[in-house]
Amino acid sequence: MRPLPAPLSTARPFVPAQRSPVGVTAPELRRAACQVLLRNWTGASTVPSRSLYPHQWSWDSAFVAIGLRHLSAPRAQRELETLLAAQWGDGRVPHIVFNPSVPLGAYFPSPDFWRSSAAGAGAGAPEHIETSGIVQPPVHALAAWLVHRADPATSRRRGFLRRLYPRLAAWHRYLTEHRDLGGHGLVSVVHPWEPGMDNSPAWDGPLSRVEPADPCSFRRCDLDHGSAADRPTDLDYGRYVRLAADYRDHGYRDADAPHPFAVEDPGVNALLIASEHALAEIAAEVGAEPGGDPGGHRRRAARLTAALVSRLWDEETGLFLCRDVRAGEPIRERSAAGLVPLVVPGLPREVVRTLLGTIGGEHFGLGDTVRLVPSYDLKGHAFDSCRYWRGPAWFNVNWLVERGLRQYGHTTRADSLRASVLASAAASGFAEYVDPHTGAGRGAREFSWTAALALDLLSRSADRSADRAAVRTGMRVGALVRDGAAG
């Protein structure tokens, strides 16, 4: 593997609370982001954070690889290869790959809860790698294509795409063939952890039908690392545990499990579509490889896009809504998941126009009342600026929205959002998420995907003076937030 540049591992650690709020440059922010990724690297993959999340997470690793490609293409490739080495025989990519050197008590649910190699044997779970049994959003093919493009020569020499293509194609087949629970061509998630937006108010209705697990049957480790005010409630956590345990007890077989929680999520389906387009590019690249069918992936992307618009688009609310498959009705909560389809190529012009209005309107307020897209409706009944996915702004969501804005030609708005993401990353010390109003960092610090996506945005820039201005602004905002908190 090509080593990373020496200055990245020897530079002085970047600690925003101890640095001057003025004069931090884009190169300094880049070095700081590199340091986060170096510290969170385990030798084969990257943990989201050293404290709360000590294993490998599925969509985290995809976003991390997107940033790592700017440092070392082989390391970015290895990030995805390590994840996909834990793929199940039925094609699913599990949402956690467990590190056997981490004590069981460091994270819950731990390997002894999921029991993947035993309970999942009928679904093809690996025998010698312990994983969870649920999945996360399928952003991996998009990540693989971006990683390849960063260094095509190295990618071809290592056979990176040739080896990954069959696995990525199997992953997409699993989703489209096993998870079309509504029968209308869209993927359903079967647990609130699967769409990544774990604690969204959009899940409250479907979750209310789930009997929570006995609170004495498990111990939450997340509260050891964060405030209870920032995390899901004990009641919701008990429901999460019940859903996972029931799925496990049905051998993780989708045809057998009752799936009382079944939701068509626009974010998951949008990322599948974006990844189908990427998979078409990968299939064309591998060319003569068996099964390499660019046209097939493009046709599937077109079918999914048509189903997404016809099934989940809601003109009245001006965004895509989640749909409760069991209740047979849309979930009328404005979640940031409904904005993620902006990454889908070829949306109807009127849908794009309306989405752009919604992003800047009173419910999400981008460019007006907030600098980053919040995870939930600013005016919603369940809005909470601090609690996990019920209002805070997340860096991966904003990276996706920025990409969508740019794709549809709204360069000025994309540039502004990009500057805000960099500013917030600098000010918060690469926080897991931030208060959308104040920019105050919440959750874990030195969070891997925050650093990786900041690095990606920095590396795509041709305007270094704009970077410097963005970072300086972010540091000033961060200082004001800290001073206010101290007072």
Give the catalytic positions in this structure. Answer: 198, 432
- Give the 3-state secondary structure of residue 214: coil
CA distance between the termini of the chain: 49
C-alpha to C-alpha distance for 357 and 346, rounded to whole angstroms: 18
**Token duo for residue 39:** 């510290």
- Give the 3-state secondary structure of residue 393: strand
C-alpha to C-alpha distance for 457 and 408, rounded to whole angstroms: 18
Cβ(478)–Cβ(16) below 8 Å? yes
C-alpha distances in angstroms, 104 versus 64, 114, 131, 247? 25, 12, 13, 21
Residue 135, strand partner residues = 94
Residue 274, strand partner residues = none
**Token duo for residue 203:** 């899940």
Structural element, H or E, at residue 223: none
* Preceding omega of 109 cis (within 30 degrees of 0): yes
C-alpha distances in angstroms, 305 versus 94, 185, 243, 297, 479? 25, 10, 29, 12, 44
- Give the 3-state secondary structure of residue 434: strand
C-alpha distances in angstroms, 436 versus 60, 128, 360, 373? 21, 42, 14, 7
Residue 394, strand partner residues = 433
Dihedral (Cα; 315, 320, 323, 328), 10-degree rounding: 20
Structural element, H or E, at residue 11: none
Cβ atoms within 10 Å, residue 341: 27
C-alpha distances in angstroms, 140 versus 118, 285, 308, 325, 338? 26, 16, 20, 25, 20
C-alpha to C-alpha distance for 373 and 380, rounded to whole angstroms: 14
**Token duo for residue 90:** 């039925």
C-alpha to C-alpha distance for 106 and 104, rounded to whole angstroms: 6
How distant is the alpha carbon of residue 307 from its chain centre? 22
